Structure 1
Amino acid sequence: MTLHRQHVPVLEVDATPLTVVELTDVLDRFIAEGSTRTVVGHNLHSVTLLHSDPIFRSFYEQSDVVLIDGAPVLWLWAKSLEGDGAKDRAMDYRLGSTDWIPALAHVEGLERIAIIGAGSVANAQAVARLKDVVPHAQVDGMPGEGWDEELEEKAIAWLEGIRPQLVLLGLGMPLQEQVLHRSLPSLPPAVYCTVGGAIEQIAGIQKLAPRWIGRLGLEWAWRLLLHPKRVAYRVFGEPWVLLGLLIRRRRRLRGKR
């Protein structure tokens, strides 16, 4: 199954925008197939990494689903839409991990889920919450704190033993993408979803921004308020890095003409 890629102008990346219902349908098919698939998401951080890291770019280009997570990415994509009311419906296509994970209960045939990442307490709480969300599924967890080569090998063996159909990998970006890029050939068939900090959010340890803040595209302000040291660079520094990367890319392409 090949999903149509759509271009995001200005940022020069491609995505496969889906609503929650559409993603659920896609996951239905992936689970039925039983093959290896990857689901990732685009925000300004991932766009910056894509334009600066060839391995990260390769992984995203080969991924089956590239959701739109960040508000700036969504707004720029929406500008390219045509048709009455198309831009008004664009917000339905902004899917962070916590937007679609609650809908896993509606994925047909989903019986085995694995959660990898976060500390032991957060991971255990996320497993318990997901068992409530998807009561018909077996949910197993493995903490990802202190991730190194040894833990990665243990994770591969653990996944081989439990053979999940869907894996939520929350190691933070770009570690989670690097892990899948190098280890995917050794992993058992499943749908692998990179979910960043969503494990702590599912666990209730990290507070989610109110929905109205998200619809205004101000989640960055909420995160900055809660985690100033962790988020400050991404909010104030990384956009300038991305701007420089995009300018250099445009100059490079002009030079080839």
Structure 2
Amino acid sequence: MDVIERARILNADFDRLTLEQSVDRIIDHVHRGERGWLCTVNVAILIMMRQDPFLQSFVDRAAFVVADGQPLVWVAPMFGAALPARVAGVDLVYALSRRAARERLSVGLIGAPRRIVDAVAERLAELYPELRIAYVGDGYFSDDEAPARAEQIRAAGTDILFVGMGVPRQEQFIDRQWDTLGCKLAIGVGGSFDVLAGLRVRAPEIIQRSGMEWAFRLAQEPRRLWKRYLLTNSWFLYLVGRQLVRVRGGGERPGSR
């Protein structure tokens, strides 16, 4: 299969793929027996990467990197290469589970409290009766217990693993346990399990397209999110503005850090 074209935005390279194209590539990747992980990067994670060398390295080493944020799609043309669409983690879980059921591939779920991850498994089983859910486990375990969890995932024969532990813990788990996990693809899906379990309402599609989903989430969890969004959004706007000035002035190529 052809090499995936990527768009450089600040400190990350994003796959220039739609949701459907991403799923096609991932399924082909799994069938060919290749191994790797997929990162869903939004503005907050992009900024976190600049402060966390491990997270930056993890994303740099990913087999797939998708833009999970409409603002990233908007600014991509300013950096020399357009992104066709946002690819959200929640949508990936649904789309990959649907294809996995059809292609007779198995999925695993790890993260969140047990009642939540069980609810996600029940929801996926209801939507896709042919889906084989090989492993279901909560995210409450110590670093010392992580190898045993990874071995359970391997023993279950998991092809695609969804990890919902939040950033950067989910990335640390995938990276440290990669040789043991055995899955063909691992995806950190952050708080998507809450949405999939019906515990958190997702923003209406019109708000998602407007790029204001962050404001919708902020209204749901103001105490937890206000500081993060204030800092990351402000820093992102500053970096984008600074880079545009440099590019237009001829000082740097598009996409540099």
TM-score interval w.r.t. the shorter chain? Answer: 0.7 to 0.9
Equivalent residue runs for 1:124-143 within 5 Å? 124-139=118-133, 140-143=135-138
TM norm structure 2: 0.84
The residue matched to 2:108 in structure 1 has which SS? strand
Equivalent residue runs for 1:71-220 within 5 Å? 71-80=70-79, 93-104=85-96, 105-107=98-100, 109-139=103-133, 140-145=135-140, 147-220=141-214
Task: State whether residues 118 and 170 of structure 1, in contact with CA within 8 Å, keep that contact through their aligned partners in structure 2.
Answer: yes
Task: Look up the equivalent residue of 2:137 and give its one-letter code.
Answer: M
Task: Look up the equivalent residue of 2:190 and give its one-letter code.
Answer: G
Whole-angstrom distance in 2 between the partners of 1:109 and 1:127? 18
The residue matched to 1:93 in structure 2 has which SS? coil
User: Which range moves more in the overlay, 104-113 or 18-27?
Assistant: 104-113
Equivalent residue runs for 1:40-51 within 5 Å? 40-51=39-50
Task: State whether residues 42 and 73 of structure 1, in contact with CA within 8 Å, keep that contact through their aligned partners in structure 2.
Answer: no
**Equivalent position of 1:61 in the other structure:** 60
- Number of equivalenced pairs: 241
Whole-angstrom distance in 1 between the partners of 2:223 and 2:104? 38
Structure 1 residues 134 and 37: alpha-carbon distance in aligned structure 2, compared to 1, 3 A threshold = farther
Task: State whether residues 36 and 63 of structure 2, in contact with CA within 8 Å, keep that contact through their aligned partners in structure 1.
Answer: yes
**Equivalent position of 2:255 in the other structure:** none
Task: State whether residues 4 and 16 of structure 2, in contact with CA within 8 Å, keep that contact through their aligned partners in structure 1.
Answer: no
Aligned CA-pair RMSD: 2.5
**Equivalent position of 1:31 in the other structure:** 30
The residue matched to 1:167 in structure 2 has which SS? strand
Structure 2: runs of 5+ lacking an equivalent: 253-257
The residue matched to 2:34 in structure 1 has which SS? coil
Question: Which one of the candidate residues 199, 217, 221 is aligned to 2:215?
Answer: 221
Task: State whether residues 52 and 245 of structure 1, in contact with CA within 8 Å, keep that contact through their aligned partners in structure 2.
Answer: no
* Cα displacement (A) at 1:7: 1.2
Task: State whether residues 161 and 183 of structure 2, in contact with CA within 8 Å, keep that contact through their aligned partners in structure 1.
Answer: no
TM norm structure 1: 0.84
Q: Deviations over 1:204-229 (max 9, x none)?
A: 11111111110111111111111111
Identity of aligned residues (%): 24
Q: Deviations over 1:51-87 (max 9, x none)?
A: 11111111111101100012222211144567xxxx7
Structure 1 residues 93 and 243: alpha-carbon distance in aligned structure 2, compared to 1, 3 A threshold = closer
